[in-house]
Amino acid sequence: MTAAPPRGLATLLHGGTLAVAVQIRGFAIEVVEGPDAGKRFEPRSRSVVIGTDPSADVVLNDPYVSRVHARIDVQQTGYVLRDLGSRNGTRVASVWAREVWLGDDVAFTLGTTTLRFRLLDAPFELALPREESFEGLLGRSAAMREVFAICERVAPSDVPALLVGETGTGKELVARAIHARSRRKERAFVVLDCAALSPTLVESELFGHEKGAFTSAVSAHEGVFERADGGTVFLDELGELPPDLQPKLLRALETGEVRRLGGTKTIKVDVRVIAATNRDLVGMIAENRFRADLYYRLAVVQVTVPPLRARRDDVPLLARHFAERARQARPENMADDLDLDRVLGELRDYGWPGNVRELRNLVERASILSDLAGTGAPKPLGQAMAEVAGRPPTLREARAAADRAYVEDVLKRADGDLDRAAEIADVHRKTLERMLREQRRADTSDDDAE
């Protein structure tokens, strides 16, 4: 096993050509004062949650410590202590702190407990899964396999999770993978896109509404928390949540209760919340556009989903996956592909600003072009990819892709209910049925691997 040149606290360890582990400088947390005085913890994780909840990595028995009080994150350049919206706060050297860098021998206080952070000489290793898939996710790169390992570790817990990454990286698929490995896997996984609805509709979709709550509320409606009871709520585009709804969401997270719009009674719900964003929420907090307490309440576990340019080893794997799916959709039309490797080689240095979604769309558009090769033999997919990669989509292709993506999204948010989907889209049900018939060749990529 060999080590790559260190670029910070984390170093990749290789077995041959495959990265098999991440090596991180070890650290310890000593309890100096409080009910647990004398205890010492040596975590072996990039992210360490401290609190009274049994699922925490460092469990304290201090009644003034919150269930999930604080978290220590191992970043490439140092160790960061973050308060997670606790009741009684976190102090470092008598100063209240939301987020602070830790050095060796730094003491900090949670509730009535004082702890000391110690750096160790001996490193620890985080093994990377050798498998190239995890509950529908695909990846052989070290970056993606570390995501697999994090998902495996956090899935059994019920604590909230925040997925951070650029548009098109597959954050919803990561959320679905976590749900699929959790004890809630047999229950509902309900999605709410905070950016897709008006503020009034977002509140209604979150918490539900009673009949007559607003002009078009002709019947009572369950919100995502009620529909996901026992399962998982996925809040996509969290950064777009209207400011006036942020305290209401925070209250629901803290109490496990919701109240429908226009209603008077509270409804108890049992859900795990996973949120995702491509926005800089910390920057938004500094600009008073996002609540710090909501952020820290949701970011108990934070998973960074890498952009495609940071996992270039995965491009051939993903491209072949999308190409194979295209072949299965049109086996009688598509030719054997002999030049896909060459095309991928030519795209090796491409930045993929649209990430996995862009790669998927490139293969989709190329497969359509290969179908339209004329009366002769179908055009190989690799050749079609080379042609498509050198030009932007046509207006027809762009419109078709946008329509397909919209219909898929609205059906997901309606849990496949066409009547509800038509209501959200503000169109007649028959319009959606027609679009679905026209899109009969549309794939199910949002439920497949990225």
Inside any domain, residue 3: no
The boundaries of the domain holding residue 210 are: 133-306
In terms of domains, do 244 and 300 share one?
yes
Query: Does residue 288 form part of some domain?
Result: yes
Compute φ and ψ for 226, nearest 5 degrees: -70, -45
Nearest to 152 by CA among 124, 126, 182: 182
Widest CA span of the chain, in angstroms? 81
- What is the total count of domains within the chain? 4
**380, 335 contact by CB (below 8 A):** yes
Which of 391, 421, 441 is where one domain is finished? 391
Average pLDDT of the chain is: 83
Is residue 141 scored above 70 in pLDDT? yes
pLDDT band for position 383 (cuts 50, 70, 90):
low
Q: Is residue 100 part of a domain?
A: yes
> Does the structure show a pLDDT above 80 at 176?
yes
Look up the CATH number of the domain holding residue 119: 2.60.200.20
Is residue 1 in a domain? no
pLDDT in tens, 316-353: 889 888 888 877 766 555 555 546 666 777 676 778 88
The model's pTM is: 0.74
> Mean pLDDT lowest for which of 151-155, 273-277, 358-362?
358-362
Tokens 């004082």 belong to residue: 114
Tell whether 2 is covered by a domain: no
The two structure tokens encoding residue 146: 């570390």
Q: What's the pLDDT score for residue 316?
A: 87
In terms of domains, do 145 and 245 share one?
yes
36 with 148, same domain?
no
* 302 and 321 housed in the same domain: no
Burial group, residue 311, by CB count within 10 angstroms (0-12, 13-18, 19+): buried
My answer on whether 406 and 416 are in the same domain is yes
Residues 95 and 141 in one domain: no
Domain closes at, from 265, 280, 306 = 306
- pLDDT of 444 > 70? The answer is no
In-domain check, residue 301: yes
Residue 330 one-letter amino acid: R
Q: Which of 12, 69, 11, 4 lies closest to 36, judged by CA? A: 69
- What DSSP element (H or E) covers 23? strand 18-33
**DSSP 8-state code for residue 180:** H
Indicate if 53 and 151 belong to the same structural domain.
no
**Do 364 and 279 share a structural domain?**
no
Report which DSSP code applies to 334. Answer: P
427 & 314 share domain: no
pLDDT-derived band at 447, boundaries 50, 70, 90: very low
Asked, for residue 57, whether it belongs to a domain, the answer is yes
Two tokens, residue 63: 């009644």
Q: CA 393, CA 263: separation in Å to the nearest integer? A: 48
Both structure tokens of 435: 């679009």
Taking only the tens place, the pLDDT of each residue in 247-306 is: 999 999 999 999 998 888 999 999 999 999 999 888 888 788 999 889 989 998 999 999
Residue 10 has pLDDT above 80, yes or no: no
- The 10 Å Cβ neighbour count of residue 267 is 18
What pLDDT, in 10s, does the model give residues 29-77?
999 999 999 999 999 988 999 999 888 899 999 999 998 899 999 987 8
From residue 412, how far is each of 4, 57, 73, 191, 447 by CA, in Å?
Answer: 43, 35, 34, 7, 10
User: What is the distance of C-alpha 382 from the center of its chain?
Assistant: 31
According to the model, what pLDDT value does residue 441 have?
41
Q: Which one of 212-226, 283-297, 427-441 scores highest in mean pLDDT?
A: 283-297
The residue ranking higher by pLDDT, 384 or 299, is 299
- Domain co-membership, 437 together with 346: no
Pull the structure tokens for residue 401. 């892709």
Q: Quick one: 379 and 319 in the same domain?
A: yes
Residues 363 and 428 in one domain: no
Q: Which residue has the higher pLDDT, 339 or 21?
A: 21
Chosen domain end from 86, 110, 127: 127
- Going by pLDDT thresholds of 50, 70 and 90, the confidence category of residue 379 is low
Query: In this predicted structure, which of 5-9, 55-59, 388-392 has the lowest mean pLDDT?
Result: 5-9
* pLDDT at residue 384 greater than cutoff 80: no
What does DSSP say about strands 99-102 and 95-96: parallel, antiparallel, or unpaired?
Answer: unpaired
Let me know if residue 241 belongs to a domain. Answer: yes
Q: How far is CA 92 from CA 28, 50, 77, 85, 359, in A?
A: 17, 15, 20, 16, 46
pLDDT at 251: 95
